[in-house]
Amino acid sequence: MPLPHSTQSGPRRSARQSTPRPLAAQLSHLKPLLQDPAYRHLIDDPDAFSPEITGLHSPLLLPAMEQAVAYLHLAISSRAHIVVIGDRDVDGVSSTATMGNFLKEQHVTGGGSLEMIVSDEGDDYGLSGGVFERALNSGAGLIILLDMGTSNGPEIEQLHAQGILTIVLDHHQLHERTANPEHCAFVNPMRSPEDERLEHAGKIATAGLVFKFLLGYALSHTKDWYRAYTLESETDQLLAYRCGQFLGEFSSPSAVEHFLAEQNTQSNQNAWEVLPLERHYRITPETRLRILENPRSNGKYILAAVISGRPRLREFALRYADLAAVGIVTDMVPLIGENRALVRMGIGRIGAVSAPGHRSYCPGYAALIQAMNLSHTRVVSRDLSWSIGPALNAAGRMGNTRLALDLLTCQEEPEAKRLARELVRLNEERRRRTARNEALVNQLVEQESHLLDHPILFLYHAELEPGVSGIVATRMVEKHLRPVVYINPDGAYARGSIRTFQQVNVLHLLDAARDLFIQFGGHPEAAGFSIAYDRIPELKSRLLNHAGQVLLNDPVFSGSPLVESTEPPWHLEILPGQLNRALLKELDLFEPFGTGNPEPIFKVRATRLINCKLMSDGLHARFQIQGAPAYLDCIAWRQGAVVDAIVQKQQSAWLFGSLEMSYFRGRARLQFRVDRVLPHEAAF
């Protein structure tokens, strides 16, 4: 699809086409949820339920974004060889695929060349080892690093010394190996001052950064790239904006022009237009007031007007939102504000030209949805986090990241279907490997009970298989209620994952042993590392000794995480009869669910379990409940023994879980996913 061209100023366009109905007016069963602090952000965000493309902040608010756009312009115009390098996880693969799909169309068709690299089996994480050597000797004029690069300052310096332009699109924490901004276009929201990181505190998945970068590049082909709009403030000053970026307060249009000429050194533009906003766009009094109340973050309304006023730009944004949504949900960044808006675009809740959820996806993504027996017309966040994400992740975890990338960049439907089937088979093998590793570490904990004497659980065994460390570590956190360090052999080095509990910052734990690692990095919630085998005992000693001090000093750590409450957390108590399609329809308004916007957990009042069927040798159970609609199934994973005991004793039970649609074998059925079953004697 060609980029949007510049357009002449036409009739004034509305910055907000319509005002969405208040959420409370659309709810019946779920209205009490609005009192829960977990959903307060939805009430505070006036655009949380808008069907239009709103809520996106200007790409120019990100550090070095204009420099990155200029680098891409130069590479495409000179038909340079562009190398895109991404990490092996879902965020890295979806980011690389999005960038690759764009460059194939905009660069390769114009005579340029493109190479896409994703770290694979035997590769270390990030720009290191064989991946770095390939980049250094690639003959690239431009290298784009995705979900990596922040900690690769020395390597980027070598690229710079060879005259290779480098763009870094990454969201990882800064540390001593951070890249020098003079050697690359370093787009990382963590570089912004804390008070300028907007509602998501700068936690934007790399897939979201790629989307914003491409949106910025598309905007650079419109007249608005070289135009500022002004809005008169209550003090008669002019608030100035460029593509929704707040430039500041100025005394006159000429002062704005002078500022733009001085600040925008990446542009060859000599003449800048400065226009009154309200002469070009119809701004409602409500929107005007919001902009004046928060000039910096509410420049998003001006960006929304720019996008809605250009149909091709709007189509461009929608087209590249599908894979961005996958990366955002699976990387577990807060699904509030801009992140939430981007995911809603990606799953068809924003900008849909037909019924909500009905939209087209790139061929490879569409083939994967079909291969996993998901609904093409109703993709929800759980599909991304429980099905699509793990399948894509399986490729990297099983040493074949290229398979996932080839699928997401495939444009031919027959080939896409073949690759999707292959990925599904690989994902099944990943599940079997996960089960084997989980059984092994459970046996390890049973045999060496002293492992549970410490505030963190340290797990290493020579027979553990690589590729599923994060999954197993997370399950061990859930089972043993403490941070978990999990290490497995993986070629020349051992690789490890660390997962948090109760928001303990795992990077603080790893700081005690940073000199032992070949490489390490990640987020406060989850991190990874590689280490020589002979240094594992010392790592264990240091972490166990250091953990007590870190956890005691952590204000969010309870100090006693080892006792699980009888009653699990829940958001709303309901009757069995309320588990119906009307409730599901209301739940859809709260989508997408994830970090920062949790899927509501319902506490269902005590009722009888009927028509029970045990599955997988009694491991799981499927049943129905008295008082609920006949079309509702309940599924309790890993709780077959508990359910069977309750049924045999003819007890009633409390249920805790979530409502969803199941599309097993192409059959749509309403389902209550039971997270916990408790006999009625456990009264609350």
Under DSSP, the state recorded for 327 is H
Beta-bridge partner residues of 604: 574, 655
Q: What does the pLDDT look like over 87-106, one tens digit per residue?
A: 888 999 999 999 999 999 99
Q: Round to whole Å and give the CA distance between 170 and 119.
A: 15
Whole-number Cα distances in Å, 356 to 158, 345, 479, 588? 49, 10, 38, 10
CA-based radius of gyration for the chain: 26
Which residues of the chain fall short of a pLDDT of 50? 7-11, 15-18, 353-357, 554-565, 683-684
Q: Round to whole Å and give the CA distance between 626 and 624.
A: 7
Quote the tokens at residue 447: 């045999």
Residue among 674, 577, 575 nearest 622 (CA): 674
- Where are any strands of DSSP class E within 425-492? 457-460, 484-490
- Give CATH 2.40.50.460 domain extents, the chain: 572-679
Residue 22: CB atoms within 10 Å: 12
Residue 614: CB atoms within 10 Å: 16
What does the chain come to in residues?
684
Determine contact, residues 388/420, Cβ cutoff 8 Å: no
- Cis amide leading into 285 (omega within 30): no
Contacts of 133 by beta carbon, 8 Å cutoff, 6+ apart: none
Tell me the H-state helices in 511-649: 536-553, 581-590, 640-648
Give pLDDT, residue 207: 97
Q: What does the pLDDT look like over 358-416, one tens digit per residue?
A: 567 889 999 999 999 888 788 889 999 989 999 998 998 888 999 999 999 999 999 99
Whole-number Cα distances in Å, 403 to 98, 226, 331, 384? 15, 41, 20, 18
Residue 666: CB atoms within 10 Å: 8
**CATH domain 448-553 topology:** Diaminopimelate Epimerase; Chain A, domain 1 (3.10.310)
If one looks up domain 63-191 in CATH, what number appears?
A: 3.90.1640.30
Determine contact, residues 310/66, Cβ cutoff 8 Å: no
- Starting at the edge strand found earlier in the chain, the sheet holding 273-276 runs 245-250, 238-242, 227-232, 273-276
- Give CATH 3.10.310.30 domain extents, the chain: 448-553
Whole-number Cα distances in Å, 547 to 382, 509, 574? 33, 6, 41
Determine contact, residues 187/65, Cβ cutoff 8 Å: yes
Q: Round to whole Å and give the CA distance between 601 and 573.
A: 9
- At which residue do the structure tokens 């194939």 appear? 104
**CATH domain 572-679 topology:** OB fold (Dihydrolipoamide Acetyltransferase, E2P) (2.40.50)
Angle at CA 423, nearest 5°, toward 422 and 429? 95
Give pLDDT, residue 561: 40
- Give CATH 3.90.1640.30 domain extents, the chain: 63-191
- At which residue do the structure tokens 């939102």 appear? 321
Distance, C-alpha 4 to centroid of its chain: 27
Q: Round to whole Å and give the CA distance between 255 and 251.
A: 7
Q: Round to whole Å and give the CA distance between 407 and 365.
A: 7
pTM for the model stands at 0.86
Determine contact, residues 618/642, Cβ cutoff 8 Å: no
Please report how the helices 90-106 and 401-408 are oriented relative to each other, as an axis angle in degrees rounded to 10: 40
Quote the tokens at residue 506: 């795992």
Quote the tokens at residue 49: 């339920």
Q: Round to whole Å and give the CA distance between 268 and 250.
A: 23
